[in-house]
Structure 1
Amino acid sequence: MPISDFRKKKLLYVFNVFFDVNQSGTIDRKDFELAIEKICSLRGWPSGSPQYTKTFDSMITIWEGLKKRADSNKDGQVSVEEWASMWDEYAKNPDNALEWQTQYLRFMFELEDASGDGTIDVDEFTSVCSCYGLDVAECRLAYQRMAEGKQEVTYDQFVALWKQFFTSENPSDPGNFIFGKTKF
């Protein structure tokens, strides 16, 4: 069964906004290097700092896992088709996520939890999503929909929302807003 238009739009959004940083039409290591610079700049972590090194190591590990699983033609890049196919496999059994997918989920939670208190609030969420070029007002609205009116989102809630984003066919499910966008 092919991926629905709704899920395909969500997957393309994450591909284009969060992964294909240089907008080349594919994902490669350079995109991850650019994302590392963007993230570390956002947080004020200079090159060589422990936070920079941790971010670099995490992101390159995520890239290597993504490439190993999704780069089916072994050209060193992940195409839109390879990306969609991989996430379609995930949707069939989200409780059996690939290691890199779990690492990326954890990385995004920790990135958004800037205070390190184990929860994400609207300001932390908006700070990260807006650094990827999303409108601040839309990020705030997406947070309210994602958090369903709560002030904070815990890690366990984030995990459930994450799974929902990649599997849901229902546009009103709160997980659809986890990446800061309100419409697909």
Structure 2
Amino acid sequence: MTEWKEGSAMWLKCKNVFANTWEELKRAADVNLDDKVTIDEWLNFMENTCKQIKAKTMDTPSWYRAWLDVFFDVIDSLGNADGWIECEEFVSFFRVHKIPDEVSRKCFNEITFDGRIAMDRDYFNLVILQYSISNDMNSPGNIHARMLLLLDEQL
């Protein structure tokens, strides 16, 4: 998906973030210490993480912030890697995941209020956090969630 070469700075960053995320996941979620994380363990871990984020007023664990940074960098790298996710970068990323272009484009436009809010790293992180913790179905994060569920008739 990206053009990061093995051994490049971004490739190494990605590798380290995913390794650290896995170690944190195992440490916090693998309750029976079998070096595997079941779906139930994963769900409990994510529920606890979301509760922690809400309780600490959007203070995210370091492993999650690092993961969000890599996620942003992957999407931004599909265009000009300028520190902003533009509509076509967003659409390109979700095209790989079989989300129809018109659905992801509509989602991006709703999330950014038709481009009035720039999708920089901070706003992207907010959207993803809302996806994880918001109960408001009109929040930008839940617009993103509806897209992932292909409920485009609700977009």
Q: TM-score, normalised by structure 1?
A: 0.66
Q: What does 1:2-151 correspond to in 2, within 5 Å?
A: 42-94=1-53, 95-114=58-77, 115-150=80-115
Cα deviations by residue, 1:125-181 (Å, 9 ceiling, x for unpaired): 122222233322222222122222116301121122122111112222111244652
The 2-side partners of 1:76 and 1:88 are apart by: 20
Which residue of 2 is the match for residue 173 of structure 1? 139
- Find the structure with the greater CA-based Rg: 2
Count of residue pairs the alignment pairs up: 143
Residue type of the alignment partner of 1:76: D
* SS of aligned partner of 2:151: coil
Cα deviations by residue, 1:99-128 (Å, 9 ceiling, x for unpaired): 221111111111111222221111111222
> What is the aligned-residue RMSD (CA, Å)?
2.4
8 Å Cα contact 1:163-1:175 kept in structure 2: yes
The 2-side partners of 1:69 and 1:177 are apart by: 29
The 1-side partners of 2:126 and 2:9 are apart by: 30
Q: Tell me the CA shift for residue 50 of structure 1.
A: 4.2
Residue type of the alignment partner of 1:98: P
Q: TM-score, normalised by structure 2?
A: 0.76
Distance 1:72-1:47 versus aligned 2 partners, 3 A rule: same
The structure showing larger relative contact order (alpha-carbon pairs under 8 Å, at least 6 residues apart) is: 1
Which of these residues, 142, 151, 154, is aligned with residue 183 of structure 1?
A: 151
The 2-side partners of 1:51 and 1:87 are apart by: 26
- Percentage of pairs with the same residue: 24
Distance 1:183-1:116 versus aligned 2 partners, 3 A rule: same
Q: Tell me the CA shift for residue 49 of structure 1.
A: 4.1
The 1-side partners of 2:67 and 2:100 are apart by: 23
Which residue of 2 is the match for residue 23 of structure 1? none
The 2-side partners of 1:58 and 1:120 are apart by: 20
8 Å Cα contact 2:17-2:63 kept in structure 1: no
Residue type of the alignment partner of 2:14: T
Residue type of the alignment partner of 1:55: C
Q: Which runs of 5+ in 1 are unaligned?
A: 1-41
8 Å Cα contact 1:112-1:125 kept in structure 2: yes
